[in-house]
Amino acid sequence: MSGAGTDSGAAAEWIKPALVGVDAARSPAFPAPVAALLDEAGDDDALARYARGAAAMAACRLAAVELAPAADEPPPAAPEDARMLGEGEPLAAALRTIFRSDSERLHHEACQRLAELGRALPAGALASALDAGRQRARLRTALLPVLGERGLWLARLNPDWRYADRGGAAAEESADPFAQAEQVWQEGSFEQRQTLFAQLRAADPARARALLQAQLGELPAKERAAFVAELDAGLSLDDEPLLAGLLKDRGREVRRFAAALLARLPQSAHAQRLRAWLAPRVTQERALLVKRWVVDAPQAADPEWASAAIDVARPQNDALGERAWWLYQLVRQVPLRWWCEHTGMDAAALLAWAAKSDWKEALHRGWLERIHRDDGDWAAAMLDAPGRAFHGHHAGLLGLLPPAQRVRHWPSSFELLCRSGRFDEVVGSCAPGQWLPLEYSRLVGAGLEQAGEALRQDWSLRQNAQSLLEVLHPQALRGWRAPPRGPDDTSALADCLAGLERTAHVRGLLHA
């Protein structure tokens, strides 16, 4: 055997026989070292011999080992790395367990913790970690710094792991990240291209814009809309020419995203037109001795609206009347801060004012569509608003608040959390590598610890218990124990409890 890069073509040579059937007459020939091992096993069954041989070849490929003639030059030895954890250290065992799991959250947490400690992954976890990075592109930013010298060395030996080599030494050797982006843009899946475009936009908005502009004519409407939405990051007046042209795009969603982004640029021609159309509709009038703000929907459609991504024709099944539809079309484009600046009212006062208006449905609907991640005050006000106007949008509004501000809107006890089924809302508040606030973590952790009977009866809780445990603050895990097992537990429940024990153990080792 000699270490060398393998390729998918070589792997296909021993996978193809399985597609047509394996018998004694059509048993594939494996390379000499594997064939010798199979001969020693003494198994005459062709199917069993093939299965064992294929498993051995898969293991060799995962370890970046190519079976080749002895004359081939072996690769250079792996470099020494003082940062690499030793295999005998307790944390090394936890990392092997974590990267053999499919939990993206645990992967991120492990990388984050290793970086804090200034250590690199142990040798036994490298193959699984490199595979995890191959499957999940957004893990790579956290993974690459903790691969260490051994991980980068290993990545160069397996084409499936070359992403790590590009992120390490090879990236410093003159590789142009923009050229790599163009290659992924041409050859990658839609999800890969979208992830890469978001990264490019955050790092170099102008280059990302140029890449999109060059390819717009070749992209389907769905992809155009997704990429235009990513222009929100790093948005500036330099984007105006591109976005203004997209107001005439064939795709309705493309036009809508372009118009919404232009409206966020106060100096853009589009934003100025919107203010000119809406300001006369929101005015003050005197009632007795008091001035009050009033809003009035347009009496007729403006021919210029067609060039501003405003749909004049109301869909037949829409609940709004024609004038309310026109008002809603204007409201959903104008940034929420304009309302505060124009009227002098804050978000809570504007919501209370709109609730008394004849046009409240158009205003509420337009504001909900317009709300942006910078509008945390509006999200909080909508969550606190009386009635059910924003009830169905609870999760989306919570997502606009920092986790510490979401807590008061979450179920106040573990029992209420289980009864409401709002697990996704709580877990989803934490991006990979983030945790719930400490006090709420303690509340959930204590509930999970005492949830033995609930786990037996509540299928939804059982499905979400692992995710809840993964987002608990590390301090809330100190001394945590999984519910005890019972003699009549089903295999599914036993697996669930064992998984909770394992997760608590490895997370505890990470933060010991």
Flag whether 183 is in a domain. yes
Among 403, 484, 471, 402, residue whose Cα is nearest residue 442: 471
pLDDT for 142 equals 92
Instruction: Read off the tokens for 32.
Output: 């000499």
Q: Residue 476: which domain range?
A: 410-510
Other C-beta atoms lying within 10 Å of the C-beta of residue 41: 12
Mean pLDDT of the region 176-189? 66
Flag whether 73 is in a domain. no
Side chain identity, residue 360: K
Model confidence over 398-412: pLDDT tens digits? 888 887 888 999 999
Q: Can you spell out the DSSP letters for 420-476?
A: HT-HHHHHTTS-TT----HHHHHHHHHHHHT-HHHHHH-HHHHHHHHHHHHTS-GGG
Side chain identity, residue 99: F
Specify whether the CB–CB gap between 139 and 107 falls below 8 A.
Answer: yes
Same structural domain, 183 and 129:
no
Other C-beta atoms lying within 10 Å of the C-beta of residue 486: 13
Residue 42 has pLDDT above 80, yes or no: no
Q: Look at 215 and 499; give whichever has higher pLDDT.
A: 499
Based on its alpha-carbon atoms, the radius of gyration of the chain, rounded to whole angstroms, reads 29
pLDDT for 70 equals 43
Same structural domain, 322 and 387:
yes
Same structural domain, 298 and 368:
yes
Range with lowest mean pLDDT among 21-35, 233-247, 356-370, 483-497: 21-35
Same structural domain, 170 and 184:
no
Residue 319 has pLDDT above 60, yes or no: yes
- Distances from the Cα of 341 to the Cαs of 122, 251, 349, in angstroms? 56, 32, 13
How does the average pLDDT of the chain come out, rounded?
A: 86
Q: Backbone phi, then psi, for 301, in 5-degree steps?
A: -75, 145
Number of domains in the chain: 5
pLDDT for 185 equals 74
Question: Looking at 220, 247, 265, which one is the last position of a domain?
Answer: 265
Same structural domain, 257 and 324:
no
In 81-116, which positions are buried (b, 16+ CB within 10 angstroms) versus exposed (e)? Answer: beebbeeeeebbbbbbbbbebebbbbbbbbbbbbee
Flag whether 71 is in a domain. no
**pTM for the model:** 0.69
Question: Looking at 265, 281, 306, which one is the last position of a domain?
Answer: 265
Range with lowest mean pLDDT among 57-61, 213-217, 234-238, 405-409: 57-61
Instruction: Return the SS3 of 285.
Output: strand
Among 400, 403, 404, 397, residue whose Cα is nearest residue 383: 397
Same structural domain, 345 and 358:
yes
Instruction: Read off the tokens for 445.
Output: 């952790």
For residue 294, the 8-state DSSP code is: E
Same structural domain, 445 and 384:
no
Flag whether 212 is in a domain. yes
pLDDT for 433 equals 87
Task: Provide the pLDDT confidence category of residue 8 given band limits of 50, 70 and 90.
Answer: very low
Side chain identity, residue 388: R
Same structural domain, 421 and 450:
yes
For residue 393, the 8-state DSSP code is: G
The Cα angle at residue 24 between residues 21 and 25, in degrees rounded to 5: 80
Flag whether 106 is in a domain. yes
Pairing of strands 2-3, 65-66: antiparallel
Flag whether 77 is in a domain. no
Flag whether 405 is in a domain. no
Same structural domain, 157 and 198:
no
Same structural domain, 392 and 462:
no
Mean pLDDT of the region 437-456? 94
Other C-beta atoms lying within 10 Å of the C-beta of residue 124: 15
Share of the chain above pLDDT 70, in %: 89
Mean pLDDT of the region 128-155? 91
Same structural domain, 41 and 137:
no
Residue 294 has pLDDT above 80, yes or no: yes
Same structural domain, 43 and 145:
no
Specify whether the CB–CB gap between 121 and 84 falls below 8 A.
Answer: yes
Question: Looking at 374, 398, 422, which one is the last position of a domain?
Answer: 398
Task: Provide the pLDDT confidence category of residue 167 given band limits of 50, 70 and 90.
Answer: very low
pLDDT for 431 equals 84
Specify whether the CB–CB gap between 86 and 123 falls below 8 A.
Answer: no
Flag whether 79 is in a domain. no
Specify whether the CB–CB gap between 239 and 268 falls below 8 A.
Answer: no
